[in-house]
Structure 1
Amino acid sequence: MSLFLCFLFLLPLILIFLKYLQPSKWNLPPGPPKLPFIGNLHQRREIQLRNRRNLFQKYGPVVYLRLGIVPVVVISSKEAAEEVLKTHDLECCTRPETVGTRKISYNSKDIGFAPYGEEWRAMRKLSAIELFSTKKNQSFRFIREEENDLLIKKLTDSALRRSPVSLEKTLYTLVGSIVCRVAFGLNLHACEFIDEDRVVDLLHKSELFTRTSLFSNFFPGRTGRVIDWISGQNKRLENDFLELDTFFQNILDDHLKPGRTELESPDIIDVMIDQMRKQSKDGDSFKFTTNHLKGMISDTFLAGVSTSASTLVWAMTELIRNPRVMKKVQDEVRTKLGDKKERIREEDLNELQYFKLMVKEIFRLHPAAPLLLPRVAMSHIKIQGYDIPAKTQILINAYAIARDPKLWENPDEFNPERFLDSCIDYKGLDFELLPFGSGRRICPGMAMGIVMVELALLNFLYFFDWGLLEKEEADEIITGNEVPLDLVQVLRH
């Protein structure tokens, strides 16, 4: 009886395995050999960030993998990326769904993880016009400047006491404070239900939903869900989600409570609530719901904080380990802005050239999303002459493209001068540099993210000199691609 039950349990997996034994009718891209049932899952470590260029060098710019039963194509060249993101943008601009992304996006009611369709188009239109427009971004300028001023005062105190600071924590707290004020009208320095340190913890928890690999991600269907349940992975995610959901619900409740003081510049949630009320009167076919609101809160929190903060950490890392570039940037900043400036303003960024090249080089070397968010082919397409069947996941390896020796001289070197006579930009039109993606799914908050990174770096480089504790060699603390800096010495300039 037990053998019979075991057979029934495994029958769906056996049928799937037999299906994938059949010879393919497609001219699929090359890829590493696959094992029965698991495909290339045993090679996941080999295709991690630091090794993906090896995959590209061995099999070419379009590589076919099968992770469990899920077909995946990894794109690692400028030309192939352009075909996906421009030529076939419409055919492959939807997203795959996993347990984690479905949970963190409130059943795909956000912008980042939502499938392509009417709801996504409505949310994207709202974000472009009302949430992340140039006018809206400029209206929050005072918040970005105030939060940077506050941090400079705190760091000045540390510098006067010659005490070290945790750079990672400092930068995540700065970006978290800005994003929470801009997007949620939430002042972390005087909030009743959350504080600065807790925001950083919640951010790291939210990242688990996109990074955790559940069995059902590779073997979708009832069997996969049962194994997730038996293994306890679902329960662990659910516990983390409850904590995040409580935070998001508190933000929403704060906006909906009677007698709330209206802000001079309404935040993102105010705008969405206003849209919901208008739609209920106008009788539109598409209605914003509470899940749409929470999905937008989740999107903004996860993408808005982690991407900019990690970019800032890497920027300071590269500058500290490359004193020549650090000196050149600081010389320009302090010469152009003068030596006795009390506060930095966003218009000061317009006076700097080498500084802007340095930021561009950071976006090249350390894209916040080394693999752009996955897409799914909605119909059969061809990339570089290879067949990409419908329902195939497509990963754009922005990291490998930005370090392709065919495109970049000494690609692993931190060298802002490479952009001196170059018109290559990072805003989605040049496919050798894609830190924010391109096409329909380009990051909607790109302008906000860029100015947050630039303003924070300008403040840090103008007011302070930086160095490692006890004069350690920078290369000794740089390990692969992990966030490297913790405690650093900060001295008031």
Structure 2
Amino acid sequence: MAMFATLVKVRGIILMWNEDFFLEASLMFLLLVCFGYLSLVWVSKWVLGHKKTKKFPPGPLPLPIIGHLHLLTGIPHQALAKLSSKYGGLMGLNLGQQRCVVVSSPEVAKEFLVKHDKAFANRPPYGFTSCLFYGQQNDLFFASYGAPWRRRRKICTLRLFTAKRLQEVEYVRYELVGALLHKISRLSHDGTVAVDISECVGDMSTNLISRLLYSHERESERDQGGTDVPQLVKDLEQETVPFIGDFIPWISWLDLWRRPRIRYVHRHMDAFITRILTERKEAMMHNNAPTDDLLHEIMKPSQDEDHSLTMLEVKSIILGMLGGSIHTTALTLEWAMAELLKNPHCLTKLQREIDTVIGCKKKQISDSDIPSLKYLRCVVKEVFRLHPVAPLLLPRISTEECKVHDYTLPANTHLLVNVWAIGRDEGVWKNARNFIPERFEGKDIDLKGQHFELLPFGAGRRICMGLPLALSMVEVTLANLVNKFDWELPNGVTCETMNMNEKAGISSNKAAPTIAVPRHRV
């Protein structure tokens, strides 16, 4: 019975917390029988082959077949951080039959992301990538490192994320931040009603990314009875998790029940993207298509193969941008506001800086004001330190054998960088669990992958290309939210009792929405 209970737990862990699905009892019984038989096979192979194994980083003793999957209970990055406190900044695990190393220190992270960056530049070939993202090799985030991936990344970077491009579309961000402030004022009835900050910034983030990508907004979609993009993105995130067979190939048949759900999500997302592309093609034929969004840039005909994309690549880029941008910006803003509400002295200090540097008469803060707001940037860095959107970054896999410190890592070793654990390491940060923006004052620490104690966007070849846009949007939006309104917790909630817990998922999602009462500043 204990073994059966362990299997039930592992099933939930492998599925990455998809609580809406349950395996049939018959499948679990068959799995139990297989487990018992193959345990004997595994133990014999482990005993015979153990002496031949090269030195691998330390970790807890694995169970037969499942390895260490049973240890990833609750929230994975927190569970891994707890294990790393015992086994060190470089820990070895067996996720089913897959070798994996978990990095939880800045020094080791630098070793992997600088010295061995090229060897670990690939992504694991998880089964969901071919189902959701038009084939792994057409994708931006999960494609293997190589010339096709570099070409797609270069096109997107040059056409959306350069400083010049961000300046050209600044008016879009300025307009949508203004709309956000107006919406909050309207919903709060001029400071008499609490508002859901997560919902407000989520809508703003959706509108921003939609405008930048294909010149649509969520409100226009809803008015036309169209697709609910945020819900599609949530569905996509829920399914962006490995299959059981990715870790234990011989029971990959258990994934058959999950595939219909993935096909459902992909079908609806593909229908939405196809409609967007069809409308754009028609507009281009009549010479009345928008010319200031990413879709215009990536659909332009080109005689140069290095600057042309297939239709599958275009679809995959749009899908990846939606999935990787909308939720992440909104989540960071929600955590930022939550921390300021929990630490009102920081909120007051930030408002005073804005009043002193910018002046209280300016209606809306823009990008050009941000470099002068030193404390604002400290606040944003502190938010990313405590609440990185991707706590384990995206996994990597090695293409060759590597020697790291005194250990030998074979080819096809998975790599997880626990930036959440690094950000809360007492050996790196004093009072690491406390929100103290002042820790960054006078220090030259940025978010661009050069300082390995702070890696919310990753580093090296696979650093997040959307960093400039995400950082700008968080800074400008947060500055305007605290400049426009005084914020208070609703009745019955105090700084001590507000819920700052995370919930399970691949992102650092907040367990409870952030609710507050905004009042116009005098």
Q: State the TM-score, normalized to the length of structure 1.
A: 0.91
Q: Map 1:327-476 onto structure 2 (within 5 A).
A: 327-476=348-497
Report the Cα offset of residue 227 of structure 1.
Answer: 1.9
Task: Find 1:186's aligned residue among 208, 216, 222.
Answer: 216
Report the counterpart of residue 151 of structure 2 in structure 1.
122
Gap change, CA 1:313 and 1:427, over 3 Å in 2: same
* Matched-pair contact (CA < 8 Å) for 2:357–2:372: yes
Q: Map 1:26-41 onto structure 2 (within 5 A).
A: 26-41=54-69
Partner deviation per Cα, 1:226-272 (whole Å, 9 max, x = no partner)? 2211xx1111221122222222222222221232623352x112211
Gap change, CA 1:15 and 1:127, over 3 Å in 2: farther
Report the counterpart of residue 253 of structure 2 in structure 1.
226
Partner Cα separation in structure 2 for residue 285 and residue 307 of structure 1: 30
SS at match of 1:66: strand
- State the AA in 2 paired with 1:137: L
- State the AA in 2 paired with 1:146: E
Report the counterpart of residue 239 of structure 2 in structure 1.
209
Partner Cα separation in structure 2 for residue 14 and residue 34 of structure 1: 12
* Matched-pair contact (CA < 8 Å) for 1:47–1:55: no
Q: Map 1:1-40 onto structure 2 (within 5 A).
A: 17=42, 22-23=49-50, 24-40=52-68
Q: For structure 1, which segment, 18-27 or 419-428, has the greater mean C-alpha deviation from structure 2 after superposition?
A: 18-27
Task: Find 1:133's aligned residue among 148, 162, 181.
Answer: 162
- State the AA in 1 paired with 2:286: G
Task: Find 2:135's aligned residue among 70, 90, 107.
Answer: 107
Q: For structure 1, which segment, 252-261 or 291-300, has the greater mean C-alpha deviation from structure 2 after superposition?
A: 252-261
Gap change, CA 1:33 and 1:472, over 3 Å in 2: same
* Matched-pair contact (CA < 8 Å) for 2:72–2:79: no
Report the counterpart of residue 154 of structure 1 in structure 2.
183
* Matched-pair contact (CA < 8 Å) for 2:111–2:404: yes
SS at match of 1:334: helix
Partner Cα separation in structure 2 for residue 377 and residue 359 of structure 1: 33
Q: Aligned pair 1:88/2:109, yes or no? A: no
What is the aligned length?
A: 476
Report the Cα offset of residue 34 of structure 1.
Answer: 0.8
* Matched-pair contact (CA < 8 Å) for 1:104–1:298: no
Q: Aligned pair 1:271/2:297, yes or no? A: yes
Partner deviation per Cα, 1:392-449 (whole Å, 9 max, x = no partner)? 1000011111111111111111001101121121110011110110000000110000
Task: Find 1:177's aligned residue among 207, 215, 239.
Answer: 207
Partner deviation per Cα, 1:262-313 (whole Å, 9 max, x = no partner)? 3352x11221111xx21xx45x389622211111111111111121111101
Report the Cα offset of residue 13 of structure 1.
Answer: 6.8
Q: For structure 1, which segment, 247-256 or 310-319, has the greater mean C-alpha deviation from structure 2 after superposition?
A: 247-256
Partner Cα separation in structure 1 for residue 280 and residue 329 of structure 2: 26
Q: For structure 1, which segment, 336-345 or 12-21, has the greater mean C-alpha deviation from structure 2 after superposition?
A: 12-21
Report the Cα offset of residue 217 of structure 1.
Answer: 2.2
Report the counterpart of residue 13 of structure 2 in structure 1.
none
Q: Map 1:67-82 onto structure 2 (within 5 A).
A: 67-82=95-110
In angstroms, what is the RMSD of aligned CA positions? 2.5
Task: Find 2:276's aligned residue among 225, 240, 251.
Answer: 251
Partner Cα separation in structure 1 for residue 46 and residue 498 of structure 2: 45
Partner Cα separation in structure 1 for residue 222 and residue 162 of structure 2: 30
Partner Cα separation in structure 2 for residue 472 and residue 364 of structure 1: 25
Report the Cα offset of residue 462 of structure 1.
Answer: 0.5
Report the Cα offset of residue 101 of structure 1.
Answer: 2.8
Partner deviation per Cα, 1:175-197 (whole Å, 9 max, x = no partner)? 11101101222133323787799
Partner Cα separation in structure 2 for residue 326 and residue 285 of structure 1: 48
Partner Cα separation in structure 2 for residue 97 and residue 46 of structure 1: 25
SS at match of 1:422: coil
Partner Cα separation in structure 2 for residue 326 and residue 423 of structure 1: 23
Report the counterpart of residue 236 of structure 1 in structure 2.
261
Partner Cα separation in structure 1 for residue 270 and residue 276 of structure 2: 10
Report the Cα offset of residue 471 of structure 1.
Answer: 4.3
* Matched-pair contact (CA < 8 Å) for 1:349–1:454: yes
Gap change, CA 1:68 and 1:138, over 3 Å in 2: same
Report the Cα offset of residue 73 of structure 1.
Answer: 0.7
Q: State the TM-score, normalized to the length of structure 2.
A: 0.86
Gap change, CA 1:92 and 1:219, over 3 Å in 2: same
- State the AA in 2 paired with 1:116: Y
Gap change, CA 1:254 and 1:25, over 3 Å in 2: same
Partner Cα separation in structure 2 for residue 40 and residue 144 of structure 1: 45
Report the counterpart of residue 91 of structure 2 in structure 1.
63
* Matched-pair contact (CA < 8 Å) for 1:189–1:195: no
- State the AA in 2 paired with 1:144: R
Partner Cα separation in structure 2 for residue 130 and residue 78 of structure 1: 32
Partner Cα separation in structure 2 for residue 196 and residue 459 of structure 1: 31
Q: Aligned pair 1:167/2:201, yes or no? A: no
* Matched-pair contact (CA < 8 Å) for 1:167–1:486: yes
Q: Aligned pair 1:313/2:331, yes or no? A: no
Unaligned runs of 5+ in 1: 1-5
Q: For structure 1, which segment, 100-109 or 384-393, has the greater mean C-alpha deviation from structure 2 after superposition?
A: 100-109
Gap change, CA 1:19 and 1:360, over 3 Å in 2: same
Report the Cα offset of residue 98 of structure 1.
Answer: 1.4
Report the Cα offset of residue 164 of structure 1.
Answer: 1.9
* Matched-pair contact (CA < 8 Å) for 2:194–2:518: yes
Partner Cα separation in structure 2 for residue 290 and residue 301 of structure 1: 17
* Matched-pair contact (CA < 8 Å) for 2:78–2:421: no
Partner Cα separation in structure 2 for residue 312 and residue 153 of structure 1: 17
Report the counterpart of residue 289 of structure 2 in structure 1.
262
SS at match of 1:474: coil
